[in-house]
Each structure stands twice: as structure tokens, then as C-alpha cells.
């Protein structure tokens, strides 16, 4: 049954973002799907979302651009009426040891992952303040907390998201807006496809639950943080990593 609530998910054409959209649709939320690259699959995703009896909007744009984020928010409101939940999911990696990392590779990752989260949130928050309701869920990472050799740029951006989450949670709590982060461990998507079988095996030995996560593991956490069951939780980092970090 439709929940009459609208969720906007960034970077939702594939991977974790796509799974979040499908799970939220199944749960009855209307879904605005942000995608950057146009593919045939994006229309298929829209049809699949609508097959759950909810509405779907497709909003194209790059979260690295403040103006494009402004447009995506406007287009979502025009199509679906409002935004109750924002999931800042889009993210990139450009891995390499610091000794060899270019300034471009460092700033690009911070510009998309961290500044992109600001760009979307800055455009959504006035609407949420006005309606005195909102949920913001930022996708961080286990490496934003623990660090990881070869990922200084990515870890810095994901750690920045945690500081951003906590500060904003304090700013907007009085307006009934909850802001939380999810820190996934290693999840099976295109982002981790580059890992060799050997690397995957060695990662599994570091995970008490002995497997990498699935996009659905993360989508379930998003569902919880969007629901009334989490109405007394804000400024937190929910670790969904099979016990990797404890």
C-alpha cells in the first residue's frame, strides 16, 4: 500500500542505490531515482518500481553540480509533490597510494562524495524545515571510520560525511528532521568488482559473518532509518558490515 511518502535516492541506476529504490518501492514509498548516465536499464527500473503500485520520477543529474542538484529537487517536487527522505548514496572511488595520488584524484572524490552530499542536502533541507519533517540518510563507509591503505581520498570523504551527519543532526533536530549515516562494509557491486578472488577471500577472513554484504543488506538499513521504528535515532552511524568493525 502507498505510504504517501517520497524518497529521493542519488546514484540509483545500479548497485546499492538501485536496490534501495526497489526496497523502498516495495515498502510503499514513491521514489525519485537520480541517475547520472542514461542507460536502457533506467526505464526498466522505473517500470519495476511502478509495478509495486507507487509513483516514480527519474531525475538526471550530477551531484557534483549544485545547480543540477537544485534542478533534481525541483523536478522531484514537481513530479511527486514533496521530499520526505533523502538518501545520499552516489559515490565514486579513485584509489591509489598517497605517494602517487594526483591532486585531481584527491579533490574529485571529495567533490563528489562529500561536497555532492552537501549539494543535495542543502537543496532539500529548506523543504524539510518548512514541512517540519524529514529523514536524511548518508551512505558513508567502514573505511571512513577505520581507514584503508590506498584510499586516503575516499576515506577522507566518507569520514567527512560522518562529521557532516552529526553536525546537521544537531542543527535540525528541533524541526523533526533526523540525520543518520550508514557505514557499509564491503558490498558486492561494481565498486568491488575490481577486487581479485584472492583479495575477496582475504576480506572475508576479516568479517565475523564470513561474507561480503549484499546491496539488500544496506537497503534494509535504509528502510529502518526511514521508518517510524527509528524515530528516536539521530546523528548516528549504523554499521552494516557483518561485524567487521566493532
List of residues contacting ligand NAP (CB under 6 A): 10-11, 13-17, 34, 36-37, 62-64, 89-92, 112, 116, 139, 141, 184, 186-187, 189-192
- Shortest distance (Å) from residue 232 CB to ligand NAP: 25
Q: Which cell numbers in the block locate residue 30?
A: 514513491
Alpha-carbon distances, residue 186 vs 50, 150, 172, 208, 215 (angstroms): 30, 15, 31, 13, 10
Cell numbers 574529485 correspond to what residue?
108
Considering the complex, state which of residue 15 and residue 134 has its C-beta at the smaller distance from ligand NAP: 15
Catalytic annotation, residues: 154
Considering the complex, state which of residue 169 and residue 218 has its C-beta at the smaller distance from ligand NAP: 218
Q: Which cell numbers in the block locate residue 225?
A: 532509518
Burial bucket for residue 188 (CB in 10 Å: 0-12, 13-18, 19+): middle
Considering the complex, state which of residue 34 and residue 121 has its C-beta at the smaller distance from ligand NAP: 34
- Shortest distance (Å) from residue 4 CB to ligand NAP: 27
- Shortest distance (Å) from residue 143 CB to ligand NAP: 7
Considering the complex, state which of residue 5 and residue 151 has its C-beta at the smaller distance from ligand NAP: 151
- Shortest distance (Å) from residue 233 CB to ligand NAP: 20
Contacts of residue 45, defined as CB under 8 A and 6 or more positions apart, other chains included, come to 12, 13, 18, 21, 22, 33
- Shortest distance (Å) from residue 135 CB to ligand NAP: 17
**Spatial distance between the Cα atoms of 136 and 236, rounded to a whole number of angstroms:** 11
**Spatial distance between the Cα atoms of 108 and 234, rounded to a whole number of angstroms:** 29
**Spatial distance between the Cα atoms of 12 and 88, rounded to a whole number of angstroms:** 10
Considering the complex, state which of residue 14 and residue 223 has its C-beta at the smaller distance from ligand NAP: 14
* Residue 192: Cβ within 10 Å count: 16
Amino acid at each position: 500500500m502507498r505510504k504517501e511518502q517520497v524518497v529521493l535516492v542519488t546514484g540509483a541506476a545500479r548497485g546499492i542505490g538501485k536496490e534501495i529504490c526497489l526496497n523502498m518501492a516495495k515498502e510503499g514509498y514513491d521514489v525519485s531515482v537520480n541517475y547520472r548516465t542514461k542507460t536502457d536499464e533506467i526505464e526498466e527500473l522505473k517500470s519495476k518500481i511502478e509495478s509495486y503500485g507507487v509513483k516514480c520520477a527519474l531525475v538526471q543529474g550530477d551531484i557534483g553540480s549544485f545547480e543540477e542538484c537544485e534542478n533534481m529537487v525541483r523536478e522531484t517536487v514537481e513530479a511527486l509533490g514533496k521530499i520526505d527522505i533523502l538518501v545520499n548514496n552516489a559515490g565514486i572511488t579513485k584509489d591509489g597510494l598517497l605517494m602517487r595520488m594526483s591532486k585531481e584524484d584527491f579533490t574529485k572524490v571529495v567533490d563528489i562524495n562529500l561536497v555532492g552530499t552537501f549539494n543535495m542536502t542543502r537543496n532539500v533541507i529548506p523543504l524539510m524545515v518548512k514541512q517540519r519533517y524529514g529523514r536524511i540518510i548518508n551512505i558513508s563507509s567502514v573505511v571512513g571510520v577505520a581507514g584503508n591503505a590506498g584510499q586516503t581520498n575516499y576515506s577522507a570523504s566518507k569520514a567527512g560525511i560522518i562529521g557532516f551527519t552529526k553536525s546537521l543532526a544537531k542543527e535540525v533536530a528541533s524541526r523533526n528532521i533526523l540525520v543518520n549515516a550508514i557505514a557499509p562494509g564491503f558490498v558486492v557491486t561494481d565498486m568491488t568488482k575490481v577486487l581479485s578472488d584472492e583479495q575477496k577471500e582475504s576480506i572475508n577472513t576479516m568479517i565475523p559473518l564470513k561474507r561480503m554484504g549484499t546491496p539488500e543488506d544496506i537497503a534494509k538499513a535504509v528502510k529502518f532509518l526511514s521508518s517510524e521504528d527509528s524515530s528516536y535515532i539521530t546523528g548516528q552511524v549504523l554499521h552494516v558490515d557483518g561485524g567487521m568493525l566493532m
